[in-house]
Chain A
């Protein structure tokens, strides 16, 4: 448990954790030893001059004072290390999540990561803050008391000692028995969390289908599975808990019988026997609590194991000696990329000189967005190489690569913050004047004028408070702020209505000026001004060339073009 904990937390935390464990053990031992003073006190009280018990009582008091101080210090140390761990852990998790490839983030991940980052980390740390002390004292105090018993009466001590391996064996056996069923509730919880998120986000559609909670089986099944899993865990825990209780209580009964037998035969003094039995009674409760603590430790363990797995997921490898490209021409060299079984990019090669524009067109699902993501190294290619200025993107540092690329996505994601902060994300140190200039260029200024709270408007979760066109302007301003030499545009205007499209058009032109640009588009207006057009289908280049060449070729691109034309000319003359 502790090694796993330390691996997850990072070994720089080993020392405070070890110190805390040592303090807690010392506290528990002092607690047990102070109880040992019961024997001399009782001996004097049951003897001829009860007043002789006083010096022993003073010693007892001193021992309790030492115990109290130790308890406070070790509690505080536990909490302190929990806080510093919490801090370190979140930073570690945050940094790691940023380094994982985008491909890792499937739809399942949102629920999983949010549970891990919220409850998971907390539970892992509650090990130190709340569970460590009781579990250490549940073990160390009874052991100390057994040692004390051995010192006063070897028969009784030996009898108590026999219980030690029995209790230990049962704990280990329970742990093994539960290992399988302990992970299940966690899995079901995560599944259900994902479903709840889905259920909430899909409310509009679900309502349209008359799918209320009772009739939305995906969620209800997930909730029922949570119940079933927890019932199975309860059932699986029965033998262990019963076994432990049986062992502890049998041991106590045994001591009682043995003690009575010894005392009746004169083999032990009444004071020793009674003190021993009082101490034994004292041991029973913490030992019984072991089964509950064990259960909580195990469920924490599975949480820790998941955190460990997450932190051990390989991020995209960083080069040892990063190379800095000297220009910004782009090159795909026999690139293949697979997503699961599906080949998304299939032996793709092309090159684009610095400062030129490349347009990618093709049916949806052809791999257009993936191509952009490979350029920005959201994934690593399976075969071939993607190069910027002749340098493989895998040989560049992530920081350098990201600094050279500005991306505008099809579905704009804004952070739940003000408009200003979302724009500033492009260059955190920018002056207000620079932010304003980018906003004007992106056509964002008129949006801001319309909003009652202007720049300080909160955009809501994912940018929900803004319309699609407004979000897109924010993201263009963000990209303008970044002022990167390579610009990637992913269907930037396809979700916009004509007015919005016209409004962001200027911003996009500003963004593209003088830069190396790759644009994925359905709107064929954009393609005409591209230096080069690639028609992509099923991850392969079907046709390439400039606009006029492709039209002359009279292939798929020309079909596309003609369809757009007919649509537009039909529109030119509205029906009477």
Chain B
């Protein structure tokens, strides 16, 4: 939810919903997480055994007097056993962690998809496809370290040092503090990596990455234009600009982080740890306050002390990225759907009324300015008007893509906002100009809005829409997968979407420029099919063709978001107003045609 989303905010006066916290999202998997963490901790602690075994072996060997062979071999055995336990536990933890990760990711993606499927179309249309695709895809994947690695590593990073430190403290507290120096140095560097400037860079980095994704989608979709206008081989400059911007931000981020990263790695590296312990140890041994053999556990455990911290630091970038990804996931999950009614009303009949409907995509810029309109069952209402007069917006209120900002749309006596989604879509279907065919079989594409239709019904709808013959010519007829095995031309896609609407058989049908692409023969046939299917239906159509306008029962002339004229086409012509002028301007073109 961004601050720019003013229209959205206005729609819901309630306090902004921050979205579920990550912990809530993960709650159902609590048991699994606990098991992973326990295994990881047991493994990590068992990993100390071989180190202690070496120290113990050293003590035995360096002890004055005869060597206690039994003790030496016992130490070796204990070390080997510890290693084995560690092997089992850490492998098990990682294995279960990754399995759990896959399951959690699936559930995240399903929740996101479900939420996006209920988000207002208005909200979706303000978002870029690339940005949302990234949330469902890459962002969910980026949560991986949180699930598969971080919990175990985080806990071990505390438990292992605690156990080691307790042991070392018991031997010599001064050398323990010296051993801690590398770790403390590394930890001291962390805040430097999280200064506002650094965080800002990282945020910009993420944005730039989303920008590249958008530019790539746009580039591929607009490739025909790129080829025709892009000056031949030169790549579209927006794509390149997004890439250049990204490279800049990346290098700026790296310049800031590289010295810190290198310093951290050096501080945690074995040579540095050994150097610190040896320097301190030499001083203490030289002044006689430390037995040389007591140096050994510090050398060994000191190395073990930094490893978990190094592992954390190693995954630091990933964790940061994961946190930002979770933020974006929460933003999407926080989007409110168009509110569902608490007590859904079932529409009685299918008379449609628009009562003083006002609507604007942004506040202060109304597209519809007080529309009163009744659509009677069994009639065809044609909407005409210049481009930008609000025709497309008006028809999109019927399938409730948006709710009016003022007034109401009433279907069968009930406000659309009081009708359950299922009932609404069982009553209203539409054919809009932007036909989206899915990469699925032809039959599935036709039955998209009527999932349970059988093949006979699908074929019948296809025949009515005059696409049946063409479908039979496809490699596998109705089972041909569009976009993979075959493609359809614009007109064919248009006819397929008409078949889609005919199949649903809803009593209210909304058409937008539907027959425009089809060739004259098809167009005529489709018009006949629609008329035949008319019966008791309520039909609202954005009309382009004289024929459609002349055949309509009522014509509504829109101008600048308001109804300028309405009535039967013949009456309106006789009135000699705006519609008549409009009609003549088309008829002139018609004459030209003759």
User: Which residues from 482 to 535 on chain A have a C-beta closer than 8 Å to any C-beta of chain B?
Assistant: 482, 491, 494-502, 505, 522-525, 528
Residue of A at shortest CB range from B362?
A: A452
Q: How many A-B residue pairs have CB under 8 A?
A: 547
Residue of B at shortest CB range from A133?
A: B265
- B436 contacts A216, C-beta separation under 8 Å: no
Contacts of B429 in A (CB 8 A): 208
Residue of A at shortest CB range from B392?
A: A467
What 1/0 mask marks residues of chain A from 96 to 124 whose CB sits below 8 Å from any chain B CB?
A: 01110010011111110111111100100
Tell me whether A563 and B524 are in contact in the complex, defined as CB-CB below 8 angstroms, given that A90-B243, A491-B490 are known contacts: yes
- A61 contacts B106, C-beta separation under 8 Å: no
What 1/0 mask marks residues of chain B from 417 to 449 whose CB sits below 8 Å from any chain A CB?
A: 000011001101110110010111000100011
User: Which residues from 238 to 261 on chain B have a C-beta closer than 8 Å to any C-beta of chain A?
Assistant: 238-240, 243-244, 246-247, 250-251, 254, 258-259, 261
Query: Within the complex, what minimum Cβ distance (angstroms) separates A243 from chain B?
Result: 10
Contacts of A411 in B (CB 8 A): 490
- A31 contacts B269, C-beta separation under 8 Å: yes
- A567 contacts B546, C-beta separation under 8 Å: yes
Query: Within the complex, what minimum Cβ distance (angstroms) separates A154 from chain B?
Result: 20
What 1/0 mask marks residues of chain A from 22 to 65 whose CB sits below 8 Å from any chain B CB?
A: 00000000010011001001000110001101100100110110
Tell me whether A417 and B238 are in contact in the complex, defined as CB-CB below 8 angstroms, given that A205-B448, A207-B425 are known contacts: yes
Tell me whether A86 and B488 are in contact in the complex, defined as CB-CB below 8 angstroms, given that A71-B266, A499-B585 are known contacts: no
Contacts of A494 in B (CB 8 A): 516-517
Q: State A534–B259 Cα separation when bound (angstroms).
A: 70
Tell me whether A223 and B113 are in contact in the complex, defined as CB-CB below 8 angstroms, given that A110-B221, A209-B451 are known contacts: yes
Q: Please tell me if B592 contacts chain A, counting CB pairs below 8 Å.
A: yes
Q: Please tell me if A79 contacts chain B, counting CB pairs below 8 Å.
A: yes
On chain B, the number of residues with a Cβ less than 8 Å from chain A's Cβ atoms is 192
Contacts of B67 in A (CB 8 A): 264
Q: Name the residue among A71, A199, A364 with the largest chain B CB count within 10 angstroms.
A: A364
Tell me whether A281 and B593 are in contact in the complex, defined as CB-CB below 8 angstroms, given that A110-B220, A571-B546 are known contacts: no
**At the interface with chain B, which of A301-309, A328-336, A396-404?**
A396-404
- A415 contacts B546, C-beta separation under 8 Å: no
Contacts of B231 in A (CB 8 A): 399, 402-403, 428
- B520 contacts A522, C-beta separation under 8 Å: yes
Tell me whether A220 and B110 are in contact in the complex, defined as CB-CB below 8 angstroms, given that A278-B54, A411-B490 are known contacts: yes
- B303 contacts A107, C-beta separation under 8 Å: no
User: Which residues from 354 to 372 on chain A have a C-beta closer than 8 Å to any C-beta of chain B?
Assistant: 361-365, 369
Contacts of A462 in B (CB 8 A): 218, 221-222
Q: Please tell me if B87 contacts chain A, counting CB pairs below 8 Å.
A: yes
- A86 contacts B227, C-beta separation under 8 Å: no
- B262 contacts A574, C-beta separation under 8 Å: no
- A31 contacts B270, C-beta separation under 8 Å: yes
- A342 contacts B61, C-beta separation under 8 Å: no
Contacts of A64 in B (CB 8 A): 266, 271-272, 275
Q: Please tell me if A560 contacts chain B, counting CB pairs below 8 Å.
A: yes
Tell me whether A575 and B214 are in contact in the complex, defined as CB-CB below 8 angstroms, given that A203-B124, A206-B117, A363-B522 are known contacts: no
Query: Within the complex, what minimum Cβ distance (angstroms) separates B321 from chain A?
Result: 11
Q: Name the residue among A41, A110, A496 with the largest chain B CB count within 10 angstroms.
A: A110
What 1/0 mask marks residues of chain B from 437 to 475 whose CB sits below 8 Å from any chain A CB?
A: 011100010001111000000000000000000100001
Q: Please tell me if A350 contacts chain B, counting CB pairs below 8 Å.
A: no
**At the interface with chain B, which of A166-174, A252-260, A384-392?**
A252-260
- A468 contacts B110, C-beta separation under 8 Å: no
- B550 contacts A571, C-beta separation under 8 Å: yes
Query: Within the complex, what minimum Cβ distance (angstroms) separates A464 from chain B?
Result: 7
Among A60, A210, A213, A478, point to the contact of B275 (Cβ < 8 A): A60
- A364 contacts B118, C-beta separation under 8 Å: no
Residue of B at shortest CB range from A370?
A: B489
Among A80, A122, A482, point to the contact of B229 (Cβ < 8 A): A482
Query: Within the complex, what minimum Cβ distance (angstroms) separates A136 from chain B?
Result: 13
User: Which residues from 141 to 166 on chain B have a C-beta closer than 8 Å to any C-beta of chain A?
Assistant: 141
Q: Please tell me if B406 contacts chain A, counting CB pairs below 8 Å.
A: no
Among B254, B521, B542, point to the contact of A79 (Cβ < 8 A): B254
Query: Within the complex, what minimum Cβ distance (angstroms) separates A506 from chain B?
Result: 12
Among B229, B399, B451, B497, point to the contact of A215 (Cβ < 8 A): B451
Query: Within the complex, what minimum Cβ distance (angstroms) separates B222 from chain A?
Result: 5
Q: State A522–B490 Cα separation when bound (angstroms).
A: 12
- A568 contacts B438, C-beta separation under 8 Å: no
Among A51, A107, A273, A428, point to the contact of B61 (Cβ < 8 A): A273
Query: Within the complex, what minimum Cβ distance (angstroms) separates B451 from chain A?
Result: 7
Q: Size range of the interface on A?
A: 35 or more
- A499 contacts B387, C-beta separation under 8 Å: yes
What 1/0 mask marks residues of chain B from 66 to 109 whose CB sits below 8 Å from any chain A CB?
A: 01010011011001100110110011001100110111011001
- A98 contacts B425, C-beta separation under 8 Å: no
Query: Within the complex, what minimum Cβ distance (angstroms) separates A47 from chain B?
Result: 9
Q: State A70–B119 Cα separation when bound (angstroms).
A: 53
Q: Name the residue among A35, A282, A478, A573 with the largest chain B CB count within 10 angstroms.
A: A282
Query: Within the complex, what minimum Cβ distance (angstroms) separates B572 from chain A?
Result: 9
Q: Please tell me if B24 contacts chain A, counting CB pairs below 8 Å.
A: no
Q: Please tell me if B228 contacts chain A, counting CB pairs below 8 Å.
A: yes
Q: Please tell me if B519 contacts chain A, counting CB pairs below 8 Å.
A: yes
**At the interface with chain B, which of A4-12, A190-198, A433-441?**
A190-198
Residue of B at shortest CB range from A215?
A: B451
Contacts of B275 in A (CB 8 A): 57, 60-61, 64
- A208 contacts B425, C-beta separation under 8 Å: yes
Contacts of A218 in B (CB 8 A): 438-440, 444
Among B212, B247, B274, B551, point to the contact of A38 (Cβ < 8 A): B274
Query: Within the complex, what minimum Cβ distance (angstroms) separates A54 from chain B?
Result: 7
Q: Please tell me if A202 contacts chain B, counting CB pairs below 8 Å.
A: yes
Contacts of A382 in B (CB 8 A): none
Among B51, B61, B110, B573, point to the contact of A281 (Cβ < 8 A): B51
Q: Please tell me if A270 contacts chain B, counting CB pairs below 8 Å.
A: yes
Q: Please tell me if A163 contacts chain B, counting CB pairs below 8 Å.
A: no
Contacts of B357 in A (CB 8 A): none
Among A118, A196, A365, A378, point to the contact of B227 (Cβ < 8 A): A378
- B520 contacts A524, C-beta separation under 8 Å: yes
- B259 contacts A35, C-beta separation under 8 Å: no
Q: Name the residue among B72, B220, B259 with the largest chain A CB count within 10 angstroms.
A: B220
Contacts of B214 in A (CB 8 A): 416, 461
- A468 contacts B278, C-beta separation under 8 Å: no
- B513 contacts A365, C-beta separation under 8 Å: no
Among B270, B523, B594, point to the contact of A568 (Cβ < 8 A): B594
- A576 contacts B69, C-beta separation under 8 Å: no
Query: Within the complex, what minimum Cβ distance (angstroms) separates A314 from chain B?
Result: 14
Contacts of B550 in A (CB 8 A): 570-571, 573-575
- B238 contacts A257, C-beta separation under 8 Å: no
Q: Please tell me if B386 contacts chain A, counting CB pairs below 8 Å.
A: yes
Q: Please tell me if A182 contacts chain B, counting CB pairs below 8 Å.
A: no
Query: Within the complex, what minimum Cβ distance (angstroms) separates A101 from chain B?
Result: 9
Q: Please tell me if A204 contacts chain B, counting CB pairs below 8 Å.
A: yes
Contacts of B274 in A (CB 8 A): 35, 38, 60, 278
Q: Please tell me if A158 contacts chain B, counting CB pairs below 8 Å.
A: no
Q: State A194–B481 Cα separation when bound (angstroms).
A: 15
- B517 contacts A376, C-beta separation under 8 Å: no
Among B278, B488, B519, B582, point to the contact of A522 (Cβ < 8 A): B519
Query: Within the complex, what minimum Cβ distance (angstroms) separates A371 from chain B?
Result: 12
Contacts of B58 in A (CB 8 A): 270, 273-274
Tell me whether A204 and B121 are in contact in the complex, defined as CB-CB below 8 angstroms, given that A413-B222, A499-B387 are known contacts: yes
- A216 contacts B213, C-beta separation under 8 Å: no
Query: Within the complex, what minimum Cβ distance (angstroms) separates B357 from chain A?
Result: 19
Q: Please tell me if B589 contacts chain A, counting CB pairs below 8 Å.
A: yes
Q: What are 13 A-B pairs at a CB distance below 8 A?
A: A31-B271, A38-B274, A57-B282, A79-B251, A204-B121, A218-B439, A224-B106, A231-B99, A274-B58, A364-B522, A397-B232, A398-B233, A571-B587
Q: A210-B421, A403-B231 are in contact. List 7 more A-B contacts (CB 8 A).
A: A31-B269, A204-B430, A204-B432, A227-B102, A260-B72, A282-B270, A410-B490
Query: Can you list the 5 inter-chain pairs with the closest CB atoms, starting with the nearest?
Result: A94-B235, A364-B491, A209-B449, A90-B243, A571-B546
